Structure 1
Amino acid sequence: MAAAAANLAGRPGVRVVVIGDPGTGKSSLVVAVATEQFPENVPKVMPHTRLPADYFPDRVPITIVDTSSSPEQKPKLIAECQAADAVVLTYACDRLSTLDRLSSYWLPELRRIQLKAPVIVVGCKLDLRDDQQNSLEQTMAPIMQSFREIETCIECSALRQIQVPEVFYYAQKAVLHPTAPLFDQEAQSLKPRCVRALKRIFILCDHDRDGALSDVELNDFQVRCFSAPLQPTEISGVKRVVQEKMPEGVNDSGLTLTGFLFLHALFIEKGRLETTWTVLRKFGYDNEIKLRDDFIPTSVKRAPDQTVELTNEVIDYLKGIFNMFDIDNDEALLPSELDDLFSTAPENPWTSDLYKDCAERNVLGGLSLEGFLSKWALMTLLDPANSFANLVYVGYSGDFNSAFTITRKRRVDRKKQQTQRNVFQCYVFGPKGAGKTALLQSFLGRQPSDALPTNSDRFAANTVEPSDGTRKTLVLREIPEGDVRSLLNNKESLAPCDVAVFVYDRYPFCRAIFLFIVLFSALCHIYAGNF
């Protein structure tokens, strides 16, 4: 696969801050890259210097911020570092004391201020370096082992114009094509979130779903990402490299997922991070390896008494996904099968306390189809944007409007005494110890003792059959006693509530269940116009 620069023209620029001990060549480095010559007279601190967008192939301008190392300027230096996209940390090749100061002062100080930007360590005054000194790799290896935030190291000479532009090219590259989200330097392997994204991309490109990218599919992938086809000899060469290093990376059908992941790890190890980033960005990923906002809406406009529900199209899609991942055909998804289903998402969205204990499961922890759909209904009710994002992550190709429907306002439903909604929310009130959690557990066919402790809201979602024979999803939300006052004082907080259940400890548990069923059935009758 030929690498190509990512389309990053939309980025306003990269801000690079240069720091280091006095006399290490900071200002000379800045002047040399801007003027392409060694300065005769250098000011103590250079004013902000801008490299134009066409200076490097990514066509993103760079603003270089020089700094003073004097103690009285330390607050300003810290502020500049905290505003930086990348930091260039200098030492002088002819003064080993400045090299020692990287580990004894500068790098610990950057950690102390919780710097998030990548660090490029630069040995200036290469022309004065003693030939008897260790190589750059030998010198920097222990430092980089201790300080993983160092993106790369380089030596340069402003006087001789040796590798001066490269310093700022690597700084820009560290921002536009960062290593940290993709690769674990210590384990020397792709990070889990990167693997998940690349697995999704592989599946999307495997049009015939045979578990391998054929020559045609590989070429389509290449054209989509890099706008250039692969020649047959190039495809053969790619597969040969993979097969030599990892035989299972290629089979009779083409490049397997194992081989696809191996190739990207190889690109990163060889410093060609722009190749992997180009692929990720072409498929909509941002620097956190999540789908960008232009792919996934961050919010859904609706009135407080309107909710979002899954369409029949998506429900049918989810039923198909359920059957696909029910490997043992036991009509339930075991935790391992569910993890596999979400293996193309940044993480399994149902590992949080909110979703762990909210639906029916069998004795082995398997999730039935009804429980599976109930969890999706709950996620859509509470966080439609997150629900849609995860639909896309697991392969849904439709748009937001085909996936979801926004229900009519509840006050209109009540006025007309009918509704087309399929998901209803019941708030469960009662004093502590009255049996609210037990009620939710019983609704899911569990014992009260099965409830997991949680510091967040507790929900239970399941399908019910009102007297009219239709199937609905009912969501019970347990309202902690301490939250009741604030909830009742906020009118919008009550807007999503269709019906309320009040649990008293003097009622037998079965009577509380009966009361809840009666209330819900009455609600459905009212909406159906039966009263």
Structure 2
Amino acid sequence: MSSSSGTGRSGLRPVSLDGSHILIALAGDTGAGKTSFCHALVDETPFSGEHFSQLSGPVVIPAALAGGYADLAILDSNADQADHFQTILSKSHVIVLMFDGSDPTDDYLATRRVSSYWLPLFKSLNLKVPVIIAKNKKDIPAENAALESVHAAMRNGELCANGLYLCELSVKDRQGIGLVVSYAQKSVLYPITPIFDFVNQTLTPHAARAFLRIFRCINRSCTGYLSDDELRQMQRRVFGSDFQPAELQLLKQSLKRAVAQTADSQDNGPSDDVSVAEDQSGVSFEGFLILMLRFVTQGASEAIWAFLRSFHYDDKLEIEINLPSLHHEPDQCVELSSEAVAFMTEANKQLFAVLLNTATGGLLFPSMDQPKTLEEEASSSSGQRAVPLDSVIAQYQSLALFDVATVARLFALSGYDSDDFGKLFKVSKRRALERRTNRVQRSVLQFYVFGSPNCGKSTLLKNGSAVRLQSKHTLVFREIPESYVDKVLQSREALDVPDVFVLAYDGADPYSFQYISQVYRKLVAIVPETPCVFVVTKADQDIVVQQNDESPEVFCKSRGLPWPPILTSALNDDFGSFFDSLLQVALRPQLCLPSVSQNAPGSAPCVSCPPSASNLRKIVLIGSSVVVVVGVAAYLYRRAKSN
């Protein structure tokens, strides 16, 4: 190459250390060939063998020429210039450590310097970047045994925790220069550290978990083996090409042999989980992991990242999705679309449950105080750890009210193929528009449950776990703790969320209705258009006279509210009629609206305190399935962020 720095050519140019380039730092002893390496990149004249007394300026390889998204900048260095040297290393994304392997008598010394000085130096400087070890002057023969100390250093997990790669080159003959640059670039664009544990020489737990999820997403047949069709679909999805029949058979045979060798090398013989029987024509998970490890050991890091990125993983092995903005008003809600429900329905139940229980660490089992969790229900009915599909849909739908991004991420974890995650959701119409047309079209109905202290509202909601409704609507109940009532009443945004207010009072407590009637007055003064339903709890006990300026009957009848109220009891198993009554009110709100609306006062002060799952109890009902969860949204969000 010439020294021209024109477009599309390498050249000596000013380089910014602000992150606009991929910085490749050259390190090594004097005479290793670092400066010659830089000049060889920009000068195509024959190598003269001269020694350069000054450091080379930065060599920039344009992104168009390097085949990446950013320009490459190769930075020369000299360890004798301590400040400049440490600045270069600290700013670099990758280090190329060069040593001179030309003189057999000095070769041992040069290689020992790599393991005894340079690598420990990088460790002491806390440099968390990959290192390319480059043996220069391969044109001069040297004893192979001299590299043993380098190989030993590469087996030292403490020295190579960030990744070590060994290659040979000859600056004089211009052999291997491009390979060194390519290795350096790939080590940054396709990092191995998140995938491979150099200390233990195995895949990292995070990567193994990601590959397990990918394997199960591909293995739609749930057989534990990837069929030929599944392998072809995998190849098309990841690489945009198809297997030739001979290539496919060769791959399967190679992986089966590798799996068998791995199993035979274990002390206890072949594992029960690693089947290599002749009647199994697919690729097992163990074979799939071996394929991933081959990509690592053979330096094909771009291939392994093609797998990961095609399944929405970013450089930190976190699920990365592009979700469009789903702006909605408080009286609207985000619902799962028909495409989302169809995807979940078509997915095999066993596959879906396995994905949720392993890939996300039991993401759908956060409640510890339920009388019977989803996990227990599934285990008792099938003997396996599975999740009823309707219950999964209910959980997803309830979480979508709080955290759409996490729901989209869970769909990605479950193998959703499309990049358009916006198709998974829809926003309901404004509630005022629905009521104007007397057609409630939303499938998610929300309820706030207020009640006097110790009236039994929590018990009431917990008993919903046995309810079966013949409706396709999702009912979401949120208990408003007494300590949170004032904050909710001060937020019009929060009060616009529910379709119905449920007002519970204890029939055996003479002062219970007094409390809830005051809550009602405040509610109807702010949101008179939202229906209210009075519920009497502990109806199995003797009903006492309520100490209030108006009896409950007079209070309700004078305001055009239904009377008598709904009676409930923890001893009464017929909770279906209770929840069905609330469903009918939500679908026909005019049933429980006051006959004379009170004029709402001026805009109430809005505080940033919309109800959230961290402080509200919730019960979710969908179709014929009921799920009771405590703090599910906050829990799912924390668990998803930690994965």
* Common fold: TM-score over 0.5: yes
- Among 407, 423, 428, the residue aligned to 2:428: 407
- Among 108, 124, 144, the residue aligned to 2:124: 108
| 1:33-67 Cα deviation digits (max 9, x unpaired) | 34365784647444332224465677975232445
Confirm or deny: 8 A CA contact 1:28 1:158 kept in the other structure.
yes
- Among 15, 19, 25, the residue aligned to 1:18: 25
CA shift for structure 1 position 149: 0.7
CA shift for structure 1 position 123: 5.1
- What's the counterpart of residue 61 of structure 2? 51
| 1:2-26 Cα deviation digits (max 9, x unpaired) | xxxxxxxxxx986033054673654
Cα distance in 1 between the residues matched to 2:490 and 2:203: 50
- Equivalences for 1:334-349 in 2 at 5 Å? 338=353, 340-342=354-356, 345=359, 347-348=360-361
What amino acid does structure 2 have at the position aligned with 1:444? K
Percent identity between matched residues is 22
- Equivalences for 1:473-492 in 2 at 5 Å? 473-476=475-478, 481=483, 492=493
CA shift for structure 1 position 214: 4.4
Confirm or deny: 8 A CA contact 2:60 2:72 kept in the other structure.
yes
- Among 254, 258, 261, the residue aligned to 2:281: 254
- Among 374, 377, 386, the residue aligned to 2:406: 386
Cα distance in 1 between the residues matched to 2:490 and 2:58: 53
With over 3 angstroms needed to count, the CA separation of the structure-2 counterparts of 1:179 and 1:469, relative to structure 1, is: closer
- What's the counterpart of residue 461 of structure 2? 443
- Among 236, 242, 247, the residue aligned to 2:255: 242
CA shift for structure 1 position 361: 1.4
What amino acid does structure 2 have at the position aligned with 1:108? S
What amino acid does structure 1 have at the position aligned with 2:427? I
Cα distance in 1 between the residues matched to 2:451 and 2:41: 70
- Among 80, 90, 97, the residue aligned to 2:91: 80
- What's the counterpart of residue 72 of structure 2? 62
With over 3 angstroms needed to count, the CA separation of the structure-2 counterparts of 1:395 and 1:57, relative to structure 1, is: closer
What amino acid does structure 1 have at the position aligned with 2:443? N
- Equivalences for 1:371-382 in 2 at 5 Å? 371-382=391-402
Confirm or deny: 8 A CA contact 2:220 2:348 kept in the other structure.
no
Q: Helix, strand or coil: the match of 1:246?
A: helix
Q: Helix, strand or coil: the match of 2:328?
A: coil
- What's the counterpart of residue 373 of structure 2? 361
What amino acid does structure 1 have at the position aligned with 2:413? Y
What amino acid does structure 1 have at the position aligned with 2:125? E
Cα distance in 2 between the residues matched to 1:74 and 1:497: 63
What amino acid does structure 1 have at the position aligned with 2:478? L
CA shift for structure 1 position 406: 0.8
With over 3 angstroms needed to count, the CA separation of the structure-2 counterparts of 1:149 and 1:491, relative to structure 1, is: farther
- What's the counterpart of residue 275 of structure 1? 303
CA shift for structure 1 position 79: 5.8
- What's the counterpart of residue 306 of structure 1? 332
Confirm or deny: 8 A CA contact 2:446 2:497 kept in the other structure.
yes
| 1:307-342 Cα deviation digits (max 9, x unpaired) | 2112455446545657446xxxxxxxxxxx94x132
- What's the counterpart of residue 119 of structure 1? 131
Determine whether 1:266 maps to 2:332: no
- What's the counterpart of residue 334 of structure 1? none
- What's the counterpart of residue 175 of structure 1? 188
Confirm or deny: 8 A CA contact 2:444 2:474 kept in the other structure.
yes
With over 3 angstroms needed to count, the CA separation of the structure-2 counterparts of 1:231 and 1:73, relative to structure 1, is: closer
Cα distance in 1 between the residues matched to 2:116 and 2:161: 17
Cα distance in 2 between the residues matched to 1:159 and 1:507: 96
What amino acid does structure 1 have at the position aligned with 2:405? A
Confirm or deny: 8 A CA contact 2:334 2:401 kept in the other structure.
yes
Confirm or deny: 8 A CA contact 1:183 1:189 kept in the other structure.
yes
Cα distance in 2 between the residues matched to 1:483 and 1:62: 59
With over 3 angstroms needed to count, the CA separation of the structure-2 counterparts of 1:99 and 1:396, relative to structure 1, is: closer
What amino acid does structure 1 have at the position aligned with 2:329? A
With over 3 angstroms needed to count, the CA separation of the structure-2 counterparts of 1:25 and 1:401, relative to structure 1, is: closer
Q: Helix, strand or coil: the match of 1:342?
A: helix
Aligned length: 477
Q: Helix, strand or coil: the match of 1:254?
A: coil
Cα distance in 2 between the residues matched to 1:202 and 1:488: 49
Q: Helix, strand or coil: the match of 1:87?
A: strand
Confirm or deny: 8 A CA contact 2:355 2:413 kept in the other structure.
no
CA shift for structure 1 position 255: 2.0
CA shift for structure 1 position 222: 4.0
Q: Helix, strand or coil: the match of 1:110?
A: coil
Cα distance in 1 between the residues matched to 2:508 and 2:339: 43
RMSD (Å), alpha carbons: 5.0
The alignment's TM-score, normalised by the length of structure 2, stands at 0.58
Which protein has the larger Cα radius of gyration, Structure 1 or Structure 2? 2
Confirm or deny: 8 A CA contact 2:96 2:132 kept in the other structure.
yes
Cα distance in 2 between the residues matched to 1:495 and 1:42: 75
Provide structure 2 residue ranges, at least 5 long, that are not aligned to the other structure.
1-18, 102-108, 261-274, 379-386, 517-533, 538-564, 567-577, 594-643
What amino acid does structure 2 have at the position aligned with 1:236? Q
Determine whether 1:28 maps to 2:36: yes
Confirm or deny: 8 A CA contact 1:309 1:405 kept in the other structure.
yes
CA shift for structure 1 position 133: 3.8
Q: Helix, strand or coil: the match of 1:64?
A: strand
- What's the counterpart of residue 165 of structure 1? 178
Confirm or deny: 8 A CA contact 1:92 1:125 kept in the other structure.
yes
With over 3 angstroms needed to count, the CA separation of the structure-2 counterparts of 1:505 and 1:63, relative to structure 1, is: farther
CA shift for structure 1 position 440: 4.7
- What's the counterpart of residue 163 of structure 2? 150
Cα distance in 1 between the residues matched to 2:281 and 2:506: 65
Cα distance in 2 between the residues matched to 1:376 and 1:34: 57
CA shift for structure 1 position 233: 3.3
Cα distance in 2 between the residues matched to 1:469 and 1:207: 30
